[in-house]
Amino acid sequence: MQAPSPAAVAPLTENPPLDLAALLADRGVSILVCTGAGGVGKTTTAAALGVHAAQTGRQVCVMTIDPARRLAQSLGLTELDNEPRTVRRAAQLADDASDGAGTGRLDAMMLDMKRTFDEFVLLHAPAERARTILDNPFYQALSTSFAGTQEYMAMEKLGQLHATTQADGTWDLLIVDTPPARSALDFLDAPRRLGSFLDSRLMRLLTTPAKLGGRAATRVLAAGVGAFGGALTRVLGSSLLADIAVFVTALDSVFGGFQQRAEATFSLLQQPSTRFLVIAAPERDPLREAGYFIERLQRDGMPLAGLVLNRVVRPEPAELSAEVSIAGAEHLEQSPAGPADGVDRLVGGLLRGHADLMRTRARQAAVTTLLTGAHPEVPVAEVPALAGDVHDLPGLRAVARALTATGGPSA
């Protein structure tokens, strides 16, 4: 008797299925953003989607912001850097001859936020002004550790890649693996926060002395900052305030407002050519984060494609309940010892293991329904839990098949 296939297992939710194969085939979609809580498989999902899209003929660039470098490892590379590099063509990505017939390509990169910031300065500033900025102590701190810099530079790099695509068609699909932030909302909020800080009244005030120079600068700063400026000087030190003033003056005179750039990127993410995928695991905390993000995307008019649930337990045979499994195991364990005693213990152990899987499945369904019941319109794709971590191309292909299968995913 043939065992039931994974497709025979009912989905966790009653939400409409998410057709990722059709999404990746849609040439009107040029940016795909994978986001969600940390540790739910965003990087693996982004890489697997890139593998499938390239296999089917698309020119794909996957951009990861994950410092764990898992994308490079999964693609068989020792490392990725800040410039996209071709890691596979369609024929190399295929696991059989028929899959590699297309002309697709998969490129990948990992964001280096300081290098992106440095390149941004060098691209837009004259050489002398660029050197002033790059050597500035405040800039060096800002470009490596200031809250929101990573997310801002991720969006800046996305804008650069999108501009390249618009100019020469290098890629027709950009897949973004978002930062592993504590809150999923940081990805949307941080660029605006950084832009607002750099364009703030305080920053403009601090640029005044550098613009005026001499005694006039001293009088303006004293009148404008007053006691607050004295407090800042005591807390931060006059040297740091001077560094900030020189930095912001140099930067603003070359680029204009950072806030406008953040708004432009925000607008790009709202375009019909962009789609967001919220990635989660069927566990309470990741699903709570996913719910926050779904609501935020909907409130901001961001185009949400759907929800991807990773690590879904799919027991086989699904019709064998946990209760029946436990009853069978107890019956075997209570049987008189005989020639088949070792086999009985093995079968009893397997039945108890199956019962644990069925209970886990029921728990996953219960917590997932809390989210999908509140958002019944959001399409859902399920990826079954795999036996081990995905760390190579065959593993990515297995995840890609699960993500893009019709009638229910299977590994």
Let me know whether 31 and 73 are in one domain: yes
β pairing state of 105-110 and 85-89: antiparallel
Let me know whether 103 and 215 are in one domain: no
- What is the structure's pLDDT at 26? 96
CB-based burial, 342-359: b 16+ in 10 Å, e otherwise: eebeeebeebbebbebbb
- The reply to whether omega before 67 is within 30° of 0 (cis) is no
Please measure the distance between the N-terminal and C-terminal CA atoms of the chain and give it in whole angstroms: 21
Reference 272, options 306, 301, 299; nearest CA is 301
Within-domain flag for 164 = no
- What is the structure's pLDDT at 273? 94
Let me know whether 35 and 174 are in one domain: yes
Let me know whether 336 and 239 are in one domain: no
Instruction: Give the integer Cα–Cα distance in Å for 278 and 291.
Output: 9
Let me know whether 332 and 280 are in one domain: no
Let me know whether 221 and 312 are in one domain: no
**Residues 43 and 177 sit within 8 Å (Cβ to Cβ):** yes
Within-domain flag for 126 = no
Domain count, the chain: 3
Within-domain flag for 158 = no
Instruction: Give the integer Cα–Cα distance in Å for 80 and 61.
Output: 12
What is the residue-level pLDDT of the chain in tens, covering all 411 positions?
333 344 456 788 899 999 999 999 999 999 999 988 888 988 889 999 999 999 899 999 998 876 666 667 777 666 777 888 887 665 566 654 444 446 788 998 887 778 877 887 887 777 887 888 888 887 787 777 666 677 777 777 887 888 888 888 889 999 998 876 555 456 666 656 665 666 555 555 555 554 444 444 444 444 444 444 444 444 444 555 566 666 666 665 555 556 666 677 778 888 999 999 999 999 999 999 899 889 989 988 899 999 999 999 887 776 777 777 787 777 777 776 654 566 777 777 777 777 777 888 888 889 999 999 999 999 999 998 877 777 778 888 889 999 998 544 333
Within-domain flag for 22 = yes
Let me know whether 209 and 339 are in one domain: no
Single-letter residue type at 71 = L
Reference 88, options 68, 102, 67, 98; nearest CA is 102
Within-domain flag for 175 = yes
Within-domain flag for 143 = no
255, 281, 299: which is the final residue of a domain? Answer: 255
**Domain membership of residue 389 as a residue range:** 6-111+169-188+265-317+368-404
Instruction: Give the integer Cα–Cα distance in Å for 383 and 398.
Output: 10
Let me know whether 391 and 350 are in one domain: no
Let me know whether 100 and 40 are in one domain: yes
Let me know whether 239 and 331 are in one domain: no
236, 255, 274: which is the final residue of a domain? Answer: 255
Global pTM value: 0.77
Instruction: Give the integer Cα–Cα distance in Å for 293 and 283.
Output: 16
CATH number for the domain harbouring residue 46: 3.40.50.300
Within-domain flag for 251 = yes
**Residues 191 and 155 sit within 8 Å (Cβ to Cβ):** yes
Within-domain flag for 76 = yes
255, 278, 301: which is the final residue of a domain? Answer: 255
Let me know whether 226 and 309 are in one domain: no
C-alpha distances (whole Å) from 237 to each of 144, 199, 216, 233, 246 are 21, 21, 21, 5, 15
Let me know whether 304 and 394 are in one domain: yes
Instruction: Give the integer Cα–Cα distance in Å for 112 and 154.
Output: 9
**Residues 10 and 318 sit within 8 Å (Cβ to Cβ):** yes
